[in-house]
């Protein structure tokens, strides 16, 4: 995907490996998150704030959020090239996917690090 943006040759193998490794990391984050939620006694704002207060969890959450957004762009590219044949519509679609992913990432990181 970064290769796609830089204009260099694409590598389907690298994209496939990136998707699989990032999906494992994201799934592991979900398991950790569910485990932490199950240890909460109550669900107040201060409890949620304490859940995200450890630095290791903020960093891992940030990395997972960025991986989710990169996966979204890669999946959007795959969908766009497979199903959207007119080039002008495909470019608009990819612009929406990229802007949406960047917005999601920036907003999520801003919320996470302001807690």
Q: Where are the domains of the chain?
A: 2-114
pLDDT in tens, 79-115: 999 999 999 999 999 999 999 999 999 999 999 999 7
* Structural contact between residues 70 and 14, judged by C-beta atoms closer than 8 angstroms: no
Q: Which CATH topology does 2-114 take? A: 3 helical TM bundles of succinate and fumarate reductases (1.20.1300)
* pLDDT given for residue 41 in this prediction: 85
pLDDT in tens, 5-27: 555 666 788 888 989 999 999 99
Range list of H helices, 12-86:
12-38, 45-51, 55-83
Q: Identify the residue with better confidence: 8 or 47.
A: 47
Position of tokens 């907003």? 107
């Amino acid at each position: 995907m970064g290769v796609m943006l830089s204009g260099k040759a694409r590598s389907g193998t690298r994209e496939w490996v990136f998707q699989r490794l990032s999906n494992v990391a994201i799934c592991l984050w979900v398991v950790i998150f569910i485990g932490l939620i199950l240890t909460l006694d109550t669900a107040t704002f201060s409890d949620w704030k304490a859940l995200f207060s450890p630095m290791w969890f903020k960093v891992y959450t940030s990395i997972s959020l960025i991986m989710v957004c990169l996966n979204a762009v890669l999946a959007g590219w795959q969908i766009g090239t497979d199903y959207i044949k007119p080039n002008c519509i495909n470019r608009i679609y990819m612009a929406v996917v990229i802007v949406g992913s960047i917005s999601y990432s920036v907003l999520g990181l801003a919320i996470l690090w302001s807690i």
